[in-house]
Structure 1
C-alpha cells in the first residue's frame, strides 16, 4: 500500500485513464472527456476558486420528455438515497428536454494519496456506467408494469 501524497494534475488523470484503457479527448475547456455509447464523462480539475477540486461529471445523453420529469426525479432520488456516487440531478434544456447529470467530487488542495485518488476515480467511473444501466432497467420494469 502506497502512502505517496500527490496533488492530482491533468497528466496524472491521463495516466490513470490510460491505465484503465479508456480513450479520451481534450475538450474546449481543457477538460478530459471519455465518450461512451449513451453518455460522456468529463474529468475536471479546478483551482482555488473551487477549493482545488477534482470532479468526474457524467452527461447522460438520453433525452426525456418534460412530462417524464416527475418520474425521473423519483428514480434519481431513489438512486441518490441508495448510492454514494455519482449523485445525479436533472437538467431541463431550453427545448424542454430533460437530461440527467451525475457527479462525484474530491477536494485535492492539500493532496491525497495516489492510491485513494486512483481507486476513487476508477470506482466513480464504474458507478457512473452502472447508473446508466440501472436507469435503463428501471424504465424497462416500469414499462412492463403498465
Structure 2
C-alpha cells in the first residue's frame, strides 16, 4: 500500500500552499456584528426597514419584526417578531396551548405571549437569539436573518391556521 497522497489530495494541498493550477478560495473571515451590517444585509436583499434608536425594524407579511443587538458588547443578534393579530385575555389558554406545542416541536423560534397593554390584550412573539461574540461572516449573518424571519412567519401562519378567525377579529 502506497503512502503517496492521491492526486486530488495533492492538488488540494498544492492549492492551500498557493501552488497548483487554481488559487485557494478566498476565505470569508468573520468580522464583528454591527447594526450597519444587519442593515446592509437587509438592503442587499431589497427589504425595506427603518433604523432608529439603535434598532432596525420593519414589516414582513404584515408582522412587525425587530433586529436587535443585545449583550454587553452588542454581540447577540436577536430577531424578534410580533404577530399581526392580538387576542383578548380570555383566549390566553388557547394560545398558550398552541405555542406550547410549537415550542415542544420546533427548535426556532421561541414563542411567547405577553400583555402589551393594561387592558389585558395579548400579543404573540417569536424570537431567535444568536451569540456572535467571535464575529460573523456575511453568509452566516444572512442565514441568521433568514432563519429569524422565516421561522417567525412560519409560527404566525401556523397559529393563524390553528386558531382561525376568532370572535374578536
Higher RCO (CA-CA < 8 Å; seq separation 6+): 1
Report what 2:29 is aligned to.
Answer: 4
Q: Is the 8 A contact 2:83 2:125 kept in 1?
A: yes
Shift of 1:6: 1.6
Q: For 1:118-137, what aligned pairs fall within 5 Å after superposition? A: 118-137=142-161
Deviations 1:10-60 (A, max 9, x none): 111011111222100124x3200012353200001124167x211001122
Taking only aligned residues, the RMSD between alpha carbons, in angstroms, comes to 2.1
Question: 1: CA distance between counterparts of 2:44 and 2:147?
Answer: 14
Greater share of helix residues, 1 or 2? Answer: 1
1:91 equivalenced with 2:114 (yes/no): yes
Q: In the alignment, which residue of structure 2 is the partner of 1:82?
A: 105
Conserved in 1, the CA contact under 8 Å of 2:80 and 2:148? no
Distance in 2 separating the partners of 1:6 and 1:49: 14
Question: Is the 1:57–1:102 contact (alpha carbons within 8 Å) kept by the matching residues of 2?
Answer: yes
CA contact (8 A) 1:6 1:113 kept: yes
Judge conservation of contact 2:49–2:56 (CA < 8 Å) in 1.
yes
SS at match of 2:58: strand
Task: Find the residue that maps to 1:63 and give its secondary structure.
Answer: strand
- In the TM superposition, 1:65-76 aligns within 5 A as 65-76=88-99
Larger radius of gyration between Structure 1 and Structure 2: 2
